[in-house]
Amino acid sequence: MAAALLATYPVLLVTDARFVDGLYFENFLEAGRFDIVEGLFASTSMHIWAWMMRPLSGVAGGGYFFRAAEFLSILTLSASILFTTGRMGGLALSERLGLAVLAGVYPVYSSAMMSSTVIYYLPTALFFAAWAIYFSNAMTDKSRPWTEALLLAVLFISFIHNSLLVFQYALLLTLFLVKSGGLDRIWNLRLAGQFALRHAHMILLPPIFFATRLLLLPPSGIYAHHNTLLFDPARNLKSMAVLGFNAIARNLAEAGTWALPVLIAIGLAVYVLRPRLQDAYWRKTMFLAVLGGILTLAALFPYGAVGKGGVPLKSFGMRYAAQMGLGLGLMLLAWVRSLPGVGEKGRTIVLVLLILLVGRVSFGDQLLWQGRWAKDMATIRVLSRLPLPPPGTVLLWDDGWKIGGEAYRSFELSWLMREAWGHESWIGMYKGDRTIAEFAQRREDRAELRDQYLLSEFVANGCSATLRLTSTIPETSHQYLGWQYLTKRFFEPREEMDAWLERLLTIEIGPQECGTVPI
């Protein structure tokens, strides 16, 4: 299992790339500006992450620590699934391993390239590890007060990742179904009441956490209303549908063919219609399929509840699907078990094939983001050779070479310009980020925004200029570009790599247009 994950995530462990929020946190931690990092986390009641990051303040290369923690988190997630399914019974070792690895190589985890997604993946790993132990204890009906107290503390910390508050109840339902003997017991009120009394502390833990955090660590600052609940059924359902379609159907389609999701659906339908539901094997298969659907919906629900699911496939917004690997893995395993006339060896071969197909997508996504980093490094090299625009100019980025589904944020553009020109005297605006007018209207936050957007020397001169970026290399895959960057970084002299970067793109800065910038 560990070897399969290492083979899937080598780029994650060696990359020097920085993106979006990862660039943001790494930049301020390296600069020793812990006050900015702490303020950002405090604004969303996530103070504990700032406290955990404090040792990295003033330390270069914090991203390597973050990405190592992310990889270990994915490994812990898979190990927890392997351990828990061993306590459930009814699954062959090959099926348990296949499920654990499928969940771990799920393509959304390539968003770990952003490094700051550690605040998603580490609590998810803690949550699954705690639940693996709790599940084991519950299956034996042994009372271990000290162990349970420790597990409650770990779960309490993991809930800082808000979506796990919902997943807690999905796993409680899973435990109830396993303990009670299957899906047909779900409406047994007597068993449900006994279960609720036995596990009341786990049922009450999420609201206790929510109330405690609101009382002791209330949100504050410019992001205090970030991710607030939205009661708009149409938008809620649409957000869930879009996130589910991108994270499941499109990833599966890319893993094999567009027919793969259809084949899976047909396989499950054939299974459901077979007159063998009393057979233990088929009952277990049905249980896995339904459980996978429940866990998938539980993973989607939090982002639907805040109307935040419409993220592009190849974007770091895919981190929102961090809990979907288990549900998808269960549904894929149910599909494999439903294949007619296929024995255990055949199912193992199919599982290995699925792992290779899905893992290939995850590996390719990492190379894609490495390709974008090559573009970013080339941008800095080319910018450094251009005449400096007048300080205070707003540069409107016209990017003709888009890599991935993620638009550049203004602070990313500010960072690129600072690295190239050595000053924080310009602001970049890119399609998809806040507009100049929106920035100008936030007078009360101006000082805070200057720090956060790397604008310490920016004094608006009322002028803007268009910056056009164009690729100069033949059309090639972005994954191949990432592969080239890695091979040149590790196996070629720095001078040759710098020369290669400068040949990747051209940048032109147009004439200034003054009097039209509302800032």
Torsions phi, psi of 150, nearest 5? -65, -40
pLDDT (tens digit per residue) in 13-49: 999 999 988 888 899 999 898 888 888 888 778 888 8
**What is the pLDDT at residue 437?**
61
Q: For residue 189, with 0-12 CB atoms within 10 Å meaning exposed, 13-18 middle and 19 or more buried, which class applies?
A: exposed
10 Å Cβ neighbour count for 87?
14
Alpha-carbon span 135 to 123, nearest angstrom: 18
pLDDT tens by residue, 303-317? 877 777 677 777 787
Question: Phi-psi bin for 456: left (phi > 0), alpha (psi -120 to 50), beta?
Answer: alpha
User: How high is the pLDDT of residue 275?
Assistant: 54
CA atoms within 13 A on the CB side of 171: 29
Q: Of 79-83, 244-248, 381-385, 498-502, which range is least confident?
A: 244-248
Q: What is the mean pLDDT of residues 474-484?
A: 89
pLDDT in tens, 107-165: 888 888 998 889 899 999 999 999 999 998 888 767 677 788 888 899 999 998 888 88
